Structure 1
Amino acid sequence: MVSTVQNTDVKQKDADRAVVVAVSSGAVFGSGADDDDEDVYGEGVAFPLLQALQRVNGRLLEENPAELLLFDVVLITTDSRQQQQSSRIMSRTRHYGLEVSRFCFSSEEDFVESLLKLNVQLFLSTDGNEALQASQKGVLSALLDQQIASCPSEQLRVMFCGDAIIRPDTGSTPASRQAAQTFSAQLGKMRQSFGMCDSPLSIVLVTSHGGRESCSAALLTLRSRGLSVDEAYCLAGAPRGPILSLLRPHFLLSDGFSSLEE
Structure 2
Amino acid sequence: MNTSETSRQQLKLSESKMTPFTIAVTSCALFRQERGDIEGVAFPFIKAINMVNQYTYGHMDQDMEVWFKIVLITTSDQEIDHGLKINQICRITAEKTLLDYLKDLKPVLYLSTDSHSVREAINAGHGAAVMSQTNYTELSGDKLRVAFDGDGVLFSDESERVFKERGLEAFIQNEVDLEGTVLNEGPLAEFAKALFFIQKRFSKCPVRTYIVTSRGTGSSGIRAIKTLREHGLGIDEAFFLCGTPKGPILKAIEPHIFFDDQQSHVDNALNVECGVVGAHVPFGVCNN
> Which residue number in structure 1 is paired with residue 227 of structure 2?
221
Whether the 8 Å contact between 1:46 and 1:149 is mirrored in structure 2 is no
Compute the displacement of 1:130 (Å): 2.5
Contact 1:48 1:149 in 2 (8 A): no
Query: Residues 115 and 258 of structure 1: is their aligned pair in 2 closer, same or farther, counting only changes over 3 Å?
Result: farther
Is it true that 1:188 corresponds to 2:184 in the alignment?
A: no
Deviation at 1:52, TM superposition (A): 0.7
Counterpart check, 1:71 vs 2:79: no
Structure 1 residue 249 corresponds to structure 2 residue 235: no
Question: Structure 1 residue 41 and structure 2 residue 37: aligned?
Answer: yes
2:53 match: 57
| Structure 2 residue runs without a partner (length 5+) | 1-13, 161-183, 268-279, 281-288
- If the length of structure 1 is used for normalisation, what is the TM-score? 0.72
Aligned-pair CA distance for 1:76: 0.4
TM-score (norm 2): 0.66
In 2 relative to 1, CA 222–156 (structure 1 residues): closer, same or farther, beyond 3 Å? same
Q: Is the 2:210–2:235 contact (alpha carbons within 8 Å) kept by the matching residues of 1? A: yes
Specify the alignment match of 1:154 in structure 2.
142
Give yes or no for contact 1:143–1:251 (8 Å, CA) kept in 2. no
Consecutive unaligned residues of structure 1, counting only runs of 5 or more, are 1-12, 33-37
Give distance in 1, aligned partners of 2:243 and 2:187.
28
The equivalent residue for 1:5 is none
Structure 1 counterpart of 2:86, from 92, 100, 105: 100
1:207–1:214 contact (8 Å) kept in structure 2: no
1:125-161, CA deviations, whole angstroms, 9 ceiling, x for partnerless residues?
Answer: 2232322221122110122233665443332111122
Whole-Å Cα distance in 2 between the matches of residues 253 and 125 of structure 1? Answer: 13
Distance 2:57 2:28 in 1: 29
Q: 1:26 aligns to what?
A: 28
Tell me the CA shift for residue 258 of structure 1. 7.1
RCO higher in 1 or 2 (8 Å CA, sep ≥ 6)? Answer: 1
Paired residue type of 2:198 = M
C-alpha distance in 1, partners of 2:256/2:108?
Answer: 16
Count of residues paired in the alignment: 226
How far off its partner does 1:179 sit? Answer: 5.7
Change (3 A) 1:250 1:142: farther
CA distance in 2: counterparts of 1:219 and 1:100, whole angstroms: 35
Decide whether the 8 Å contact of 1:205 with 1:231 is kept in 2: yes
CA–CA separation in structure 1 for the residues paired with 2:91 and 2:156: 33
